[in-house]
Amino acid sequence: MRVEYNFELLQGCQCGMCPVHDGSQCINQKTNGLKFTHCSSTPQPQEVEGIYCSQQRGKSACTDLPRAKACVCPTCPVWRSHKLDTNYFCIEGPAS
Ligand code: SF4
Ligand code: SF4
């Protein structure tokens, strides 16, 4: 199921808790080591590092994400509510 981009779903995204995310220097530099959700206004899809499963966001521009670490998407409420069955969207691109 395609995932839309909105603030409610963004808040449910678990990418900020993920070892793949934490293992990327590029993402840590972009986010200043902070998790991405703590914004007072709705950020544009390309301004967040997360919810990569969404068509509007898609995969990260960072290329140093360690795929050997475990993706935590299956723990995510968005993953469950959209009946997703793949993961590593940050590397592979959005759910279709
Ligand atoms: S399924 Fe994965 S990429 Fe999509 S919102 Fe959840 S943790 Fe983020
Ligand atoms: S899509 Fe999966 S592997 Fe990538 S950061 Fe999110 S939870 Fe981690």
Tell me the pLDDT tens digit for each residue of 41-74: 678 898 899 999 999 999 999 999 999 999 999 9
pTM score, two decimals?
Answer: 0.93
Q: Which ligand is nearest to the CA of 14?
A: 1
Distances (CA, A) of 7 to 20, 37, 57, 59: 22, 9, 12, 18
Query: What confidence score (pLDDT) does residue 42 get?
Result: 74
Compute, in angstroms, the gap from residue 68 CA to the centroid of ligand 1: 17
- What pLDDT score does 47 carry? 86
Residue type, 81: S
Using a 10 angstrom Cβ sphere, with 0-12 exposed, 13-18 middle and 19 or more buried, the burial of residue 33 is exposed
Average pLDDT for residues 73-84, to the nearest whole number? Answer: 98
Q: Please report the pLDDT score of residue 35 as a whole number.
A: 60
Kindly give the distance from the C-alpha atom of residue 81 to the centroid of ligand 1, in angstroms, as a whole number. 11
Specify the ligand 1 atom closest to the Cα of 18: 7
Average confidence score pLDDT of the chain: 91
Q: Whose CA is nearest to atom 6 of ligand 1?
A: 13
Residue with tokens 């909105």: 6
